Amino acid sequence: MNNNNQKISLTIDGVEVQGKPGQTILEAAEAAAVYIPRLCWMKNLTAAGSCRVCSVRANGRVQSACTQPIGPGMVVENDTEELRELRRNLIDMLFVEGNHFCMFCEKSGECELQALAYRFGITAPKYPFMFPQRDLDASHPEILVDRNRCILCGRCVRASQELDGKHVFGFVGRGTTKRLAVNAPDNLAQTDAEADDQAVAACPTGSLLVKRVGYAVPVGQRKFDHSPIGSEIENSDVQD
């Protein structure tokens, strides 16, 4: 049986949406021009469901929209005050558990974490800063790793494996000591990482950077200078 033309009907915030078999809630929502905030999810990568920013209520249960498949008659709650508050808290915690200094970060204006904070109206974290001791790996001639800004989303880990066919990045440690590691004894320079690896571009924050690019894009022309994150989805056409 060919499922390509089969439709699955569900509602998101009371609006009926037609999805396709095999789609996740996030994918079905995106096709219907509904934005569900996300950080660890990235197109063409296996969903990890780890950041929980895409949490929705599906048939009354909180689920990560990037991993939960849609089902017929599913009732999805997305843009509710309860979920907005949940997401605000998650984003807030990501800020305080790292060292995110947007004021001089070259990813400012292009950073998904910062853009989400703006979208959710977070002007300052409500939780106390943890100020962890994190290091910076500048050993590679073309790539900088600034672990101060790493939110452990794992996009670089998956992109390296699934898109670049390499295994440059991984995680070591647990809990608050978990950190991004490289597949080499000491540092990134000892790996086969290259500046045009999709793993580098996959970083949603300023943790993985191509060196010496800096602030080449002027203020006013950066990705999120004029439109909030997600607006490109909300302004897109509904797909059949």
Q: Which residues bind another protein (CB under 8 A)?
A: 103-104, 106, 136, 138-139, 144, 211-221
DSSP strands (E only) in 52-128: 55-58, 61-64, 75-77
Q: Which is nearer to another protein, 75 or 213 (CB)?
A: 213
Shortest distance, position 177 Cβ to another protein, whole Å: 21
Q: Which is nearer to another protein, 129 or 171 (CB)?
A: 129
Fill in the amino acid letter for 211: K
Q: Which is nearer to another protein, 111 or 144 (CB)?
A: 144
CA distances, 49 to each of 55, 103, 166, 167 (Å): 9, 29, 22, 20
In the chain the first and final C-alpha atoms are separated, in Å, by 20
- Could you tell me the two tokens for 202? 């996959």
Shortest distance, position 29 Cβ to another protein, whole Å: 34
- DSSP conformational letter for 172: E
Q: Which is nearer to another protein, 33 or 184 (CB)?
A: 184
Shortest distance, position 209 Cβ to another protein, whole Å: 8
Shortest distance, position 124 Cβ to another protein, whole Å: 17
DSSP strands (E only) in the chain: 8-12, 15-19, 55-58, 61-64, 75-77, 136-137, 143-146, 169-172, 179-182, 208-210
Q: Which is nearer to another protein, 129 or 215 (CB)?
A: 215
Cα–Cα distance measured from residue 119 to residue 97, given in angstroms and rounded to the nearest whole number: 20
Shortest distance, position 98 Cβ to another protein, whole Å: 16
Cα–Cα distance measured from residue 43 to residue 102, given in angstroms and rounded to the nearest whole number: 25
Shortest distance, position 46 Cβ to another protein, whole Å: 32
Q: Which is nearer to another protein, 136 or 238 (CB)?
A: 136
Backbone angles phi, psi at 210, to 5 degrees: -75, 130
